[in-house]
């Protein structure tokens, strides 16, 4: 397979909210519900169709909307595959009963155990790291060390981060619970919120832009947002991103927090075999390489090279917590954030 990055912007087959035609199982198609934006998945789907002859019918929407749709549709759902972001969302889909366990030698071989459900309900497709980002002109990276150290007086009024209703932050705290326990995580959150430069607002790009604009000195954000900004066609966005550096926290102990985008076969898939073939395709070397180059995410498959921008951020030690725990500890993570006053 040869994946051309020039094909990054391609019109979609179906827009969010449109329904698939409900029909009997068809050898030549697979129906996909995707929480990933169309331009971040469609080129790969086109390659899959070109290689296999299997047509992919695509519907995109927000992760929570797709989960609710699958619940409402039940046995009548036309969807064969669900792609979503964050291990917390994958866990929610599994708990809601909208996924089924599958067995695939290729997926077991190519995806590390940490990035797949032990019972086979979902697999990771790409990896994203959530390190500390800092203002290059105001912060000496030697003053940084770990997430835990961000509770110190030196960082009072200097931190930007998204709100507590963001699943990325919920999963970050869930990873802390898994490694340090609820009490230690609560103590950390109580002190951490006192160092916010402003009430949480906006997405990860907004936190990065705030650092560049001097509204805060450090932020916690996913690396692919910074990488996409550095490669943006918008000169102002590139300029802002160039003012921000990446620091890998906790390299002396548990490692930087990482998460995944992932997928599973739906509970009532009519085209199960084609669904598994699609998942296997998405972890091929070529597909993983495309994720790295076009989406600026880290491959889940070992040995696949990173993009030049990601390589520029440097090597890192990742947290080895199994992704399933991020979902299992989501509820206590949310309670901890609420008690800490993280809004």
Nearest-angstrom CA–CA distance, 63 and 66: 5
Instruction: Name the pLDDT band for 26 (thresholds 50, 70, 90).
Output: very low
pLDDT at 36: 87
Name the pLDDT band for 201 (thresholds 50, 70, 90).
very high
User: What integer pLDDT is reported at residue 16 of this predicted model?
Assistant: 38
Convert the pLDDT of each residue in 290-316 to its tens digit.
888 889 999 999 999 999 999 999 999
pLDDT band at 11 (very low <50, low <70, confident <90, very high): very low
41-80 tens-digit pLDDT: 899 999 999 999 999 999 999 999 999 999 999 999 999 9
Q: For 187-215, what is the mean pLDDT? A: 98
How many angstroms separate the CA atoms of 44 and 297, rounded?
15
- The answer on pLDDT for 150 being more than 60 is yes
| pLDDT of 27 | 61
Average pLDDT for 313-324: 94
User: What's residue 37's pLDDT?
Assistant: 84
Where does the pLDDT of residue 123 fall: very low under 50, low under 70, confident under 90, or very high at 90 and above?
Answer: very high
Give the mean pLDDT of 313-338: 95
d(CA 72, CA 27) in angstroms, rounded, equals: 26
264, 93 Cβ separation under 8 angstroms: yes
Q: What is the pLDDT of residue 4?
A: 35
CB 296 within 8 A of CB 13: no
The mean predicted confidence, pLDDT, of the chain is 91
pLDDT of residue 186: 98
DSSP labels, 147-190: SGGGGSGGGTT-EE---TT-HHHHHHHHHHHHHH-HHHHHHHHH
For residue 83, give the nearest of 322, 264, 237 by alpha carbon: 264
What local confidence, expressed as pLDDT, does residue 38 receive?
86
- Name all domains of the chain by residue range, CATH numbers in brackets: 5-127+259-305 (3.40.190.10), 129-256+316-340 (3.40.190.10)
pTM for the structure as a whole: 0.87
Per-residue pLDDT at 329 exceeds 80: yes
Task: Give the strand pairing for 218-220 and 159-160.
Answer: parallel
* Least confident span in 22-26, 90-94, 211-215: 22-26
Q: How would residue 24 be classed by pLDDT, with cut points 50, 70 and 90?
A: very low
């Amino acid at each position: 397979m040869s994946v051309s990055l020039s094909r990054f912007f391609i019109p979609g087959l179906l827009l969010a909210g449109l329904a698939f035609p409900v029909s009997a199982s068809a050898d030549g198609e697979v129906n996909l519900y995707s929480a990933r934006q169309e331009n971040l998945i469609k080129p790969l789907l086109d390659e899959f169709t070109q290689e296999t002859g299997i047509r992919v019918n695509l519907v995109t929407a927000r992760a929570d909307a797709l989960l609710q749709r699958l619940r409402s549709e039940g046995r009548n759902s036309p969807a064969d595959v669900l792609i979503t972001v964050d291990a917390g969302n994958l866990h929610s889909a599994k708990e809601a009963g909208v996924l089924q366990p599958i067995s695939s030698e290729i997926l077991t071989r190519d995806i590390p155990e940490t990035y797949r459900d032990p019972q086979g309900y979902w697999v990771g497709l790409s990896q994203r790291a959530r390190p500390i980002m800092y203002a290059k002109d105001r912060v000496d990276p030697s003053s940084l060390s770990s997430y835990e150290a961000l509770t110190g007086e030196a960082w009072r009024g200097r931190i930007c981060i998204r709100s507590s209703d963001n699943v990325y932050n919920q999963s970050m705290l869930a990873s802390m619970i898994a490694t340090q326990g609820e009490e230690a995580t609560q103590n950390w959150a109580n002190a951490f919120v006192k160092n916010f430069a402003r009430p949480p607002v906006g997405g990860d790009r907004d936190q990065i832009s705030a650092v560049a604009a001097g509204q805060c000195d450090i932020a916690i954000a996913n690396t692919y947002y910074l990488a996409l900004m550095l490669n943006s066609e918008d000169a102002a966005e590139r300029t802002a991103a160039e003012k921000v550096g990446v620091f890998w926290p906790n390299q002396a102990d548990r490692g930087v927090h990482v998460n995944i985008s992932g997928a599973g076969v739906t509970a009532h898939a009519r085209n199960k075999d084609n669904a598994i073939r699609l998942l296997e395709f998405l972890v091929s070397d070529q597909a993983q390489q495309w994720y790295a180059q076009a989406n600026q995410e880290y491959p889940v498959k070992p040995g696949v090279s990173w993009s030049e921008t990601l390589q520029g951020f440097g090597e890192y030690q990742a947290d080895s917590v199994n992704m399933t725990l991020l979902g299992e500890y989501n509820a206590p993570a949310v309670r901890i954030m609420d008690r800490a006053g993280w809004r």
